Amino acid sequence: MTELVNFNGEITPEAEARVPVLDRGFLFGDSVYEVVRTRKGGFHSVGRHLDRLERSAGRIRMKLPLPRVELLERCAETVQAAGNAESYVRIIVTRGTGTAPNIDLAYAPEEPNLIIMVRPLPLPPADLLEKGFSAEVVSVRRNDPRALDPAIKSGNYLNNIMGLMEARRDGADTAIILNTLGQVTEAPTSNLWLVKNGEALTPPPEVGILEGITRGLLLEFGEEGGADGKLSTREQLLEEKDLREADEIFMTSTLMDIAPITRLDGHPIGTGRPGPVTLELSQGFSAWLDQGGGD
């Protein structure tokens, strides 16, 4: 089990890695990032992740330090040096090390900093598909897309941290965050889905969400009818009451694929156990991913 960091091309053990105090990512969250994982040793859906990294950087007018092929080579080199069975790879690009602790871009350098963190892939809890998570609809609201658009995967996660803190304070595992109009958006680091009448529904991008890679893959999987031609997934605007009336709720993310939510605001959802559609989707989707679906 090895944790390594590649800082602008130099690989060191994670414990020895240092980011300069004038780095704009450190000072202001002036950065973008991606989390990629390996599956059977290869980067999974990496093209989609790099597309999103480019989109995020473009939205904050930050240039990426390397062309895509070289960026990928640098990730591969770091993963290889770490030698873990499966890897978590965090690619962070900051607007570089400035000349003063001042947000003014006059103090920003020419070159961004590129940090690649490689760790063993964290496994979801072993009993995830038996127990699921508890969630709370929190009072913290998702950023309005006209402010820091949630579609940008930036290094500023305070809004999500505040949401998660509120949920944890109240004893829930995770938070469900509404937008300023009261519409359902997502969880702090996962997209949200509910199941109604056998269909899995997830909010559309306009409400203010990160368009998760896993979310996109599950929508594609559902469009193809799922593994047995029966499972349907689609976008739909969701209100808080839809959550309360849902048959099942689950989350999606790169690190967990599908994660059931079995309690909402202290009350069991359905039987309080992961529901049949969630389990069937989870099984079919994982098998599809393992066979190279989404690459």
Ligand X SMILES: Cc1ncc(COP(=O)(O)O)c(C=O)c1O
Stretch that binds ligand X, among 123-131, 213-221, 237-245, 269-277 (CB under 6 A): 213-221
Exposure b/e, 150-174, CB count within 10 A at least 16 = b = bbbbbbbeebbebbbebbeeeebbb
Q: How far is the CB of 102 from ligand X (least distance, A)?
A: 28
Nearer to ligand X, 77 or 295 (CB): 295
Tell me which residues in 36-55 interact with ligand X (CB under 6 A): none
Options 40, 63, 131, 153, the catalytic residue: 153
Residue span binding ligand X (CB under 6 A) among the ranges 14-22, 188-196, 228-236, 279-287: 188-196
Distance from C-alpha of 137 to C-alpha of 202, rounded to nearest angstrom: 16
Burial 189-225 (b: 16+ CB within 10 A, else e): bbbbbbbeeebbbbbeeebbbbbbbbbbbbbebbeee
Q: Which is nearer to ligand X, 108 or 176 (CB)?
A: 176
Annotated catalytic residue 241: no
Residue nearest to ligand X (CB): 212
Alpha carbon separation from 148 to 90, 142, 143, 202, 213 (Å, rounded) = 21, 10, 6, 21, 20
Please name the amino acid found at residue 293: G
Classified as helix, coil or strand, 279 is helix
Q: How far is the CB of 129 from ligand X (least distance, A)?
A: 18
Q: Verify binding: residue 114, ligand X, rule CB under 6 A.
A: no
Q: How far apart are CA 59 and CA 152, in angstroms?
A: 7
**CB-based contacts of 96: which residues, under 8 Å, 6+ apart?**
23, 24, 108, 109, 110, 111, 112, 113
Binding-residue pattern over the window 148 to 187 for ligand X, x denoting contact by CB under 6 A: ------------x-------------------------x-
Q: Of 233, 253, 262, 278, which one interacts with ligand X (CB under 6 A)? A: 253
Piece in contact with ligand X (CB under 6 A), picked from 67-75, 80-88, 112-120, 205-213: 205-213
CB 269 within 8 A of CB 244: no
Binding residues for ligand X, how many (CB under 6 A)?
Answer: 14
Q: Residue 31 has which token pair? A: 């950065």
According to CB under 6 A, which one of 6, 97, 214, 282 is a site residue for ligand X? 214
* 31 binds ligand X per the rule CB under 6 A: no
Closest separation between CB of residue 160 and ligand X, Å? 6
Indicate the DSSP class of residue 235. E
Q: Which of 143, 254, 278, 282 binds ligand X (CB under 6 A)?
A: 254
What is the phi/psi pair of residue 128, to 5°? -55, -45
Nearer to ligand X, 87 or 252 (CB): 252
Q: Which of 22, 35, 72, 76 binds ligand X (CB under 6 A)?
A: 35
Q: Which residue from 137, 201, 213, 261 is in contact with ligand X, where contact means CB under 6 A? A: 213
Is there a contact between 255 and 199 (Cβ–Cβ < 8 Å)?
no
Tokens encoding 256: 């967990």
Give the residue with the Cβ less far from ligand X, 113 or 189.
189
Helix (H, G, I), strand (E, B) or coil at 160: helix
Binding site for ligand X (CB under 6 A): 35, 160, 186, 189-191, 210, 212-215, 252-254
Active site residues: 153
